[in-house]
């Protein structure tokens, strides 16, 4: 099944003497967008400071204040700088007003790994958001899950550019340098489509022929297994290291196994990772890390990591403990996860320190599951 559904008519990238690596079979595997065909890069807001806020209430106050001002006053009040071709203050205000300033349009958005914030989503291009990517994000404002993955990686950095979300995403949710692609699991019908014969049920974002192959081979196969199987494969350190040169150049390619028991086990690990990354796994409680200190000061005044003590100090009074060097240095895409979260809140009070403790726990569980994946994946990637 290694060569299943290779994209017809798609020319693969070329590398210098791929046979020298002993990994040229990788090029015969199925590319991610040839399995899940609907995908696009994340939202380009053009003005993160305006369009993305920490809480729904902050988002609500922002849009009402922003639309109450004339364009020049709004530009000064929100430090928006000069208009560009595709984003203008006047267009953004009009889009908000035309949408009715409805609370229903305030939705969560994955800003960075484990860092979900809020935005106001109309789906209109060159409006409040510069490029809202509505052709894909309309599926993510429904009940859904999606991979967030980079197509390429700059330089010689390790490939770990994969995460999972259940909400809309920015263009830099997992990496600031590379464009991030969002690939939903479910596709929802168009509410405004006039075709009376069109389906009213959500569909799997999986090539139908591929679903037929799996279903005919394994009667017990469920489409969800494929989604989570892929997520597990992409978290294998063996896979990432062995095929590093290819992963830096294009979308990852996925090997398949003929062994249902192995396929099913990897899918279980992928599902477990998904629950952990969405912070809804019961294994996150109680959290591994602890928030310690005295007083009411939760301000992130500085970020000081002590490797010997496994603590992160955020001000003279407060620190997190139980953070080993392996956890502190763990990266998802272009971000050192635990450092990035605190860095983005420097000068602010931590609204939910326990969330950070759960992030630490999620990373520890991820590392453990990655090791378990590597124990069984050898025959799949050989």
Residue that is last in its domain, among 187, 213, 232: 187
Q: If phi over 0 gives left and psi between -120 and 50 gives alpha, with beta otherwise, what is residue 102? A: beta
Query: Which among 11, 7, 8 has a CA at the least distance from the CA of 30?
Result: 7
Q: If phi over 0 gives left and psi between -120 and 50 gives alpha, with beta otherwise, what is residue 23? A: alpha
Q: Which two tokens stand for residue 125?
A: 């291009």
What strands, in cross-sheet order, belong to the sheet with 290-293?
290-293, 318-321, 311-313, 304-306
pLDDT in the model for residue 191: 67
Same domain, 45 and 178: yes
pLDDT in tens, 250-271: 999 999 999 999 999 999 999 9
Same domain, 45 and 179: yes
* Residue 380 covered by a domain: no
Pair type for strands 168-169 and 106-112: parallel
Question: End-to-end distance of the chain based on CA atoms, in angstroms?
Answer: 13
* Residue 192 covered by a domain: no
* Residue 233 covered by a domain: no
pLDDT in the model for residue 9: 36
Cα–Cα–Cα angle for 180, 103, 175, nearest 5°?
15
- Report the C-alpha dihedral over residues 188, 190, 191, 197, rounded to 10 degrees: -100
* Residue 356 covered by a domain: yes
* Residue 307 covered by a domain: yes
- Spell out the long-range contacts of 342-346 with Cβ–Cβ below 8 A and sequence spacing 24 or more: 342/300, 342/303, 342/312, 342/314, 343/303, 344/112, 344/115, 345/300, 346/300, 346/301, 346/302, 346/303
Question: Are 78 and 66 in contact, with CB atoms under 8 Å apart?
Answer: yes
Residue that is last in its domain, among 139, 161, 187: 187
Largest Cα–Cα separation, the chain: 66
Q: Which two tokens stand for residue 185?
A: 């699991």
pLDDT in the model for residue 199: 55
Range(s) of the domain holding residue 127: 41-187
Q: Spell out the residues 6+ positions from residue 211 whose beta carbon is closer than 8 angstroms to its own.
A: 204, 223, 226
Count of structural domains, the chain: 2
Residue that is last in its domain, among 139, 171, 187: 187
**Full-model pTM:** 0.92
Tell me the pLDDT of the chain (382 aa) as tens digits. Answer: 544 544 433 345 555 455 445 788 999 999 999 999 999 999 999 999 999 999 999 999 999 999 999 999 999 999 999 999 999 999 999 999 999 999 999 999 999 999 999 999 999 999 999 999 999 999 999 999 999 999 989 877 789 999 999 999 999 999 988 889 999 999 999 865 555 445 568 999 999 999 999 999 999 999 999 999 999 999 999 999 999 999 999 999 999 999 999 999 999 999 999 999 999 999 999 999 999 999 999 999 999 999 999 999 999 999 999 999 999 999 999 999 999 999 999 999 999 999 999 999 999 999 999 999 999 999 999 8
Q: Which two tokens stand for residue 235?
A: 């978290």
* Residue 25 covered by a domain: no
Pair type for strands 311-313 and 304-306: antiparallel
Same domain, 167 and 49: yes
* Residue 224 covered by a domain: no
Which helix (H) or strand (E) is 163 found in, with range? strand 162-165
* Residue 136 covered by a domain: yes
pLDDT in the model for residue 11: 43
pLDDT in the model for residue 357: 98
Same domain, 160 and 47: yes
Question: Are 124 and 135 in contact, with CB atoms under 8 Å apart?
Answer: no
Which helix (H) or strand (E) is 304 found in, with range? strand 304-306
pLDDT in the model for residue 67: 98
């Amino acid at each position: 099944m290694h060569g299943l559904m290779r994209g017809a008519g798609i020319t693969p990238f070329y590398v210098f003497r791929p046979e020298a690596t002993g990994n040229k079979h990788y090029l015969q595997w199925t590319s991610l967008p040839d399995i899940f065909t609907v995908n696009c890069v994340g939202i380009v807001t053009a003005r993160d400071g305006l369009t993305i806020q920490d809480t729904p209430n902050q988002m609500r106050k922002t849009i009402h204040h922003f639309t109450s001002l004339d364009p020049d006053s709004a530009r000064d009040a929100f430090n928006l700088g000069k208009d560009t071709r595709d984003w203008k203050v006047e267009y953004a205000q009009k889009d908000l007003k035309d949408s009715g300033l409805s609370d229903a349009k305030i939705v969560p958005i994955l800003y960075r790994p484990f860092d979900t914030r809020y935005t106001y989503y109309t789906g209109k291009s060159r409006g409040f958001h510069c490029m809202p990517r509505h052709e894909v994000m309309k599926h993510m404002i429904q009940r859904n899950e999606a991979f967030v993955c980079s197509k390429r990686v700059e330089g010689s950095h390790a490939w770990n550019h994969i995460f999972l979300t259940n909400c809309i995403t920015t263009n830099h949710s997992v990496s600031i340098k590379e464009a991030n692609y969002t690939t939903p699991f479910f596709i929802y019908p168009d509410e405004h489509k006039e075709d009376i014969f069109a389906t009213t049920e959500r569909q799997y974002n999986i090539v139908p022929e591929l679903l037929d192959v799996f279903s005919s081979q394994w009667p017990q196969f469920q489409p969800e297994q494929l989604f989570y199987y892929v997520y597990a494969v992409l978290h294998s350190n063996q896979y990432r290291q062995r095929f590093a040169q290819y992963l830096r150049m294009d979308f990852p390619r996925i090997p398949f196994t003929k062994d249902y028991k192995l396929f099913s086990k990897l899918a279980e690990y992928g599902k477990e990772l998904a629950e952990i990354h969405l912070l809804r796994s019961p294994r996150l409680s109680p959290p591994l890390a602890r928030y310690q200190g005295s007083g009411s000061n939760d301000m992130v005044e500085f970020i000081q990591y002590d490797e010997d003590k496994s603590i992160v100090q955020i001000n003279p009074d407060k620190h997190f403990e139980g953070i080993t060097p392996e956890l502190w240095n763990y990266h998802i895409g272009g971000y050192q996860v635990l450092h990035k979260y605190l860095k983005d809140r420097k000068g602010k009070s931590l609204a939910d320190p326990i969330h950070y403790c759960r992030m630490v726990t999620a990373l520890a569980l991820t590392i453990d599951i990655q090791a378990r994946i590597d124990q069984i994946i050898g025959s799949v990637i050989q």
